[in-house]
Structures are given as C-alpha cells and as structure tokens.
Amino acid sequence: MTAPDPIVLGDVPERVWRAFQEGRGLDRAHGSHAERWRRARSLGAPPSGLRPDDALVRGGVARIRGEHVERLESLGGATLSRAAAEVSEHDFLLLLADPDGVVLRAEGGGAFSAEARALRLIEGASWGEATRGTNAIGTAATEARPTVVLGRGHFASRYHGLACYAAPVFDPDGRVAAVLDATSRLDAARPEVGAAVFAAARVLGELLRLEAYATAGGSVLRVLSRTLDHSRDAMVLVEAPGRVVRMNALAREALGGVVAGGHAAPLLGMPWPALLDAALAPTPGGVPVRGGLRLSAEPVLSPSGAPLAVVVRLEKRAPRRGRRLDPADPFAPVFAEDPSLRDAIDWARLVAKSDLPVMLLAETGSGKELFAQAIHGASGRAEGPFVPVNCGAIAPSLLESELFGYAPNAFTGADRRGRAGLFEAASGGTLFLDEVAETPLAMQAALLRVLETGRFARVGEAREEACDVRVICATCRDLDEAILAGSFRRDLYYRLKGAAVRLPSLRDRTDRLPLARRLLELRAARAGWPRPPSLSEEAEGCLAAHPWPGNVRELISVLDVALVMARGAGAEVIEARHLPPEIARAAPPSEESASTGALQRAEAAALRRAIEAHRGNVSAAARELGIARSTLYRLARRCGISVGRT
C-alpha cells in the first residue's frame, strides 16, 4: 500500500523537553511532540532512557522472527543490502524491526557502528514505545506512518543525540509487517537518508503484495477479468487496507472524474472493514453509498483465504431512461505532447481495430502496459478481459502452466482440481505478454503453436481447446540480437511482430517537463495535497538535464520523493534541494536547462559511468541503464564515446 505522509518530530530546545517532563504545558507549535510524549509516558517509558541491556529480548532473535520478516529477507534481501550500503555512506545504521519494534536485522553504520552497539541498536533489542518512548521505530510501528525523530524529538534523554528515519512495511492485508529504520548521530541528519528508507520500505511492501498475488495464481486474474475488465458496470478495485488501485472508465465518470490512487473511505463512503464485510457477507441489492449509487462487492482471496482486495461494482439506484455512460478515450491516460509519441498513438488506434498481434518496443519503465491497455480499450475486444503477465517474473518451469493451465494432479504440488491458465482467463479479450524475450525456447515453441493454430492443451492433458485471444507483447530487448544469439525464435518473432509500435524513451521526448508537471499533479492528489505544488525553475532544469535511464517509472519515483521532502519542509514549491541528490546534481545553468547540449552532456556522463562501472562490458552497462545494446551503441555514437562490441 502507499504509505501516508510522515510524522516529523524535529529537534526542540532543551527547555521545551524539560517543560513537558516537569508537567508544564507546551505551546501549540509543539503539539505534535506533546501528543507522542504523552503516549510514551502513559506506556511507562522512562524519560532518562533504559540501561543498555534492559530491553534485550531474551532467548535470541530466532524465536521472534515473524513469517513476513522472513519473507522480506528472502524476497527483499537485495533491496535491504542496497539501502544499507546507501545509508552507510552517510554513517547511518539500517535496522529492520518487527511490528513490536524488536530489531531483527542491523546492517551498515559506518563510523556510527560502535556508538550504535553501545546504545543497543542491535539485533534482539526492543525499540517499542513502551520501552524506549517516542522514537522512529516504535512510533512508526504504533501509528503505521513513516516517522522522522531528530534530537530532542525523542522522549528519552539518552537518545537526544540521534537522528532516526523509519517507515512501516505493509503486508498484503494492510497491516504493519515490519519497520525499516536508519539511525545515526544528530549532526549526520539529512533528508535524502529518509527518502531512501521510505522508498525501500515501499519496495519491500510491494514485494510482499506481488508475491501474494503470484501465489494466488490464475484465480485472481479470473476474478478481475470477469468483474473489472469484462463488466459493463462501473467497477473499482480496492486493495487492503482501502487503497483504490484501479477503476474503469464508467467508474471514473460515476464518481465525478476521480482517478485511482486515493482511499476508499472518502471516495466511496465506506472504510476497508465495511467494504470487506460487504464482499464476504453481501447484502441483497447492494449497499447505498454516495452519489445515489448502490455498491456490491466481491473478495479477491489468497490461497490461504486472506483478503488481498475487493472488486466493487457501482450501480445507479434509479438511472434515467436512455442515459448511457460512454467510456472515455482509451488513449486519454497516455500523456502525449511529444510528436513521436502522438504518431505512435495514431498508428496504434488504426491497429487496435484489427485482431493483428501487436509488438510494443520500448525501454523499461516507458509505460508499455498502459499503452497495451489503451490498444485493448480501443479494440473490438474492449468489453472482454485484459490480462497482463510479465514473462520475466515467472519461473521458467512454471510459465507453461501459468499460461495454459494444468490438468488435475498434473505434477507434484498441483491442485487436485487442476487450474485454468491465462489464455483461458483472457478468452474474448487481450493477453499482454510483457518481457516476452525472457521466455525460454521450449515455451516459445508452445506459444508459436497457439498463435498458429488458435488451440492449446493444458499441461498434463492431451485434449486441445480453442482460444479466442488477441496477443500484445512487449520487450525492452533488441530482438534482432536475441535471434542472432539463438535465445529467441525467428519464426515466433515474425508471428508476434504483426504490427510493431515503438514508444520513445523519456530522454527522447520533447514533453518531459509538461509530463513531469502533470504527474506531479496526480501524485500530489494521491498523497492528499489540497493543491499540487509547482516546480521551481531550478528543479525543472534538473529534471530536463537528467538522462532518465529508468524512464517514466523513474520520474514518478523522483516526484514521490520530492513531494515527501517538500511536505516535511512545509514548502509549496518543489525546489532542487527536494529532489534526490543524483537528480539535483544534474542541474545546468538556467539558460540552457532544457537545451539539447545539456541533455547530451547528461547522457554522456551517465553512459560513461555505466561503462566504466562494468569495465567496458556493454551488455552489463545496457542492463543497468535499462536500454537495449543497440540503443547504447546509438547513444554512444551520438555522444562521441568509443565502446567495444561485447
């Protein structure tokens, strides 16, 4: 889920902290501190801080490690290690704690390591509010919000020399599964450390969510395709604990033009527990909600029965005769002021009306799935399901059973009832195969047969079934190179290519800044800003100069960090200092902030760094930048950089 805005308890004068401890009232400016300190006092936390060993868990960490924390370390070990390395450069220690505030993993620290051990910032130490008072780990766990506590923002005097940034990691049910924290000395405090922690916590929560959906398999996709994509009604997908993640065009119109990303309570007038009740124990005729609508819901459950999401149907209680909700332009969500992207949209509109396979050629993070959804929405299959699958995210041994399904007891661990696959889930609609170049050769042969014959067989079953599915595929790889290397079948390439649509990378688009402004509006609304902040001239110069190897996905991440930093500083304008350091450092002189020369210099610098980091290995450098090798060679020639053929 998307984390709410952070709690910021900054350093305060000694007299303010002492006034509270002596029972004197605080002024309104320190009300946020007083609220948390009062809770710590009521829990019995000592104002001086505990003796070093008083809050250590007896019997070791192993006995208290929860299921989600173990899954986090399994799924997100690389994310944790990267975050630890990043914060350690600034002498911060990275800590992973359970929902009770008990530290289960400590990594990094730099020059702060010895002091951290003395303060018992170690595995097995409890940093819950009842033992340590107000602190980033305990407060983030208690309030389920990102938390910054600096200096005398801490309840206990022993920790007044610390700077702490923590964020909860949410499980698929919307509960706190763990808390990620970075702590160091107060004089080392810097907002970019907080941004790194908040971003890493979001990534870890997303990994838990994606794993839950993956284990649910085709059943989740069938529910979604049957109710959301295939419906003529207004439909909304709400994930635990109440985040609106998707809605169709009819729902946007019925709800007054809102977009996904907010919370269900203000949008639908029902909080998550009530929505879940409506799904698990439905009321005949639905439940009346805002705007004269009636709501009915269907749960999306994991194999263990845990609720992952609720699919909501909205119907008018007394629709006017003859009124019909017309869906919006399917390509409207694709922001396009760039001529090359507009050309791609015009071509895609024509192709969409046919049943030709479509191949989207674009770098990672360019919005391929959004574009594929638009093609589906503009096609004659728009009322059928749209089923996306990332071929690179499924183990090769499981890909065939995911796509085609399997017969009862087809293999060890298979469901005794069998399971339908994604081709069946997409019947009458569109199957979107992202990262199609990652499919193994054996799977490519099976996929080619389906495209040629329109028939497939479930794994472990001889009988073939007909399928009525349009295939859209996408890749960021150079398929000509893959064919020469023998990793992709030439016949499948020509069968899939049908009508190719090439999407420009963000660095090649002329509408980078208008896109950034539009995304800032959307992300600010999603984060609950009453009105979106503007971008300063210097910040726009930074955004224009950056080469954007991660494309639109990277831009969204950068804007999310900037919004968190600006809100923490009480700013209404995004300045360069609110951007991540690697973006802020890219600022050119304002007169040439958006010039071609500045962009080429930034591209050249990014290319040189990647090539040098990988000692001239072009393939590895291209993977790091998220581009095809052919694109890297083209950019290198344009920037005058000599590279070898590797």
Question: How do residues 342-362 score in pLDDT, each as one tens digit?
Answer: 999 999 999 998 888 899 999
* Cβ neighbours for 627, distance < 8 A, ≥ 6 positions apart: 363, 476, 505, 549, 635
204/99 same-domain check: yes
How far is Cα of residue 138 from the mean position of the Cα atoms in its chain? 25
453/476 same-domain check: yes
CB 238 within 8 A of CB 275: yes
282/404 same-domain check: no
The DSSP H or E segment spanning 179 is: strand 176-185
DSSP state letters, 20-62: HHTT----GGGHHHHHHHHHHHHTT--TT---TTTTBPTT-SG
Does 322 map to a domain? Answer: no
Does 474 map to a domain? Answer: yes
pLDDT at 156: 94
pLDDT at 231: 58
Count of residues for the chain? 646
Does 187 map to a domain? Answer: yes
311/372 same-domain check: no
CA distances from 260 to 172, 242, 336, 526, 527 (A): 18, 12, 20, 8, 12
Q: What gap in Å lies between CA 268 and CA 275, rounded to an integer?
A: 9
Which of 502, 533, 556 finishes a domain?
Answer: 502
CATH number assigned to the domain comprising residue 289: 3.30.450.20
453 pLDDT band, cuts 50/70/90, is confident
32/156 same-domain check: yes
Does 528 map to a domain? Answer: yes
Mean pLDDT is lowest, of 205-209, 394-398, 560-564, for 394-398
Q: What gap in Å lies between CA 571 and CA 573, rounded to an integer?
A: 6
The DSSP H or E segment spanning 163 is: strand 162-170
CB 391 within 8 A of CB 439: yes
Q: What are 564-573's pLDDT values in tens digits?
A: 888 877 788 9
Q: Which amino acid is at 182?
A: A
Burial of 453 (0-12, 13-18, 19+ CB in 10 A): exposed
Phi/psi-derived region of residue 153, left when phi > 0, alpha when psi is between -120 and 50, beta in every other case: alpha
**Residue 601: Cβ within 10 Å count:** 17
Does 644 map to a domain? Answer: no
139 pLDDT band, cuts 50/70/90, is very high
Which of 162, 155, 119, 118 lies closest to 138, judged by CA?
Answer: 155
The DSSP H or E segment spanning 604 is: helix 596-613
Q: Which residue has the higher pLDDT, 338 or 640?
A: 338
Of the spans 185-194, 228-237, 405-414, which averages the highest pLDDT?
185-194
Does 419 map to a domain? Answer: yes
Does 115 map to a domain? Answer: yes
pLDDT at 586: 56
Q: How far separated are the first and last CA of the chain, in Å rounded?
A: 41
101/156 same-domain check: yes
585/605 same-domain check: no
Burial 339-375 (b: 16+ CB within 10 A, else e): eebeebbeebbebbeebebbbbbbbbbbbbbebbbbb
DSSP state letters, 218-233: HHHHHHHIIIIIS-SS
pLDDT at 4: 64
Average pLDDT over residues 4-27: 87
CATH number assigned to the domain comprising residue 523: 1.10.8.60
Q: In total, how many domains does the chain have? A: 5
The mean pLDDT value of the chain amounts to 81
162/78 same-domain check: yes
CATH number assigned to the domain comprising residue 32: 3.30.450.40
Pairing type for strands 430-434 and 386-390 reads: parallel
Burial of 226 (0-12, 13-18, 19+ CB in 10 A): middle
Q: What gap in Å lies between CA 393 and CA 235, rounded to an integer?
A: 27
Mean pLDDT is lowest, of 314-323, 491-500, 591-600, for 591-600
CB 453 within 8 A of CB 468: no
CATH number assigned to the domain comprising residue 423: 3.40.50.300
166/93 same-domain check: yes
Q: Please tell me whether residue 620 adopts helix, strand or coil conformation.
A: helix
Give the E-state strand segments of 343-461 in sequence order.
358-361, 386-390, 405-406, 419-420, 430-434, 455-457
pLDDT at 290: 65
565/578 same-domain check: yes
Which of 389, 347, 331, 338 lies closest to 502, judged by CA?
Answer: 347
**Residue 619: Cβ within 10 Å count:** 12
Which of 251, 282, 316 finishes a domain?
Answer: 316
The DSSP H or E segment spanning 568 is: helix 551-568
pLDDT at 1: 45
Which of 184, 213, 242 finishes a domain?
Answer: 213
Q: What are 140-188's pLDDT values in tens digits?
A: 999 999 999 999 999 999 999 999 999 999 887 778 889 999 999 999 9
Give the E-state strand segments of 317-466 in sequence order.
358-361, 386-390, 405-406, 419-420, 430-434, 455-457, 464-466
Of the spans 107-121, 275-289, 461-475, 611-625, which averages the highest pLDDT?
107-121
487/515 same-domain check: no
Tell me which residue range forms the domain holding 259: 218-316
57/140 same-domain check: yes
- Looking up tokens 């990262």 gives 435
pLDDT at 305: 66
CB 133 within 8 A of CB 139: no
CB 16 within 8 A of CB 30: yes
3-state SS record for 242-256? CEEEEECHHHHHHCC
pLDDT for 68 beyond 60: no
Average pLDDT over residues 370-398: 86
Does 625 map to a domain? Answer: yes
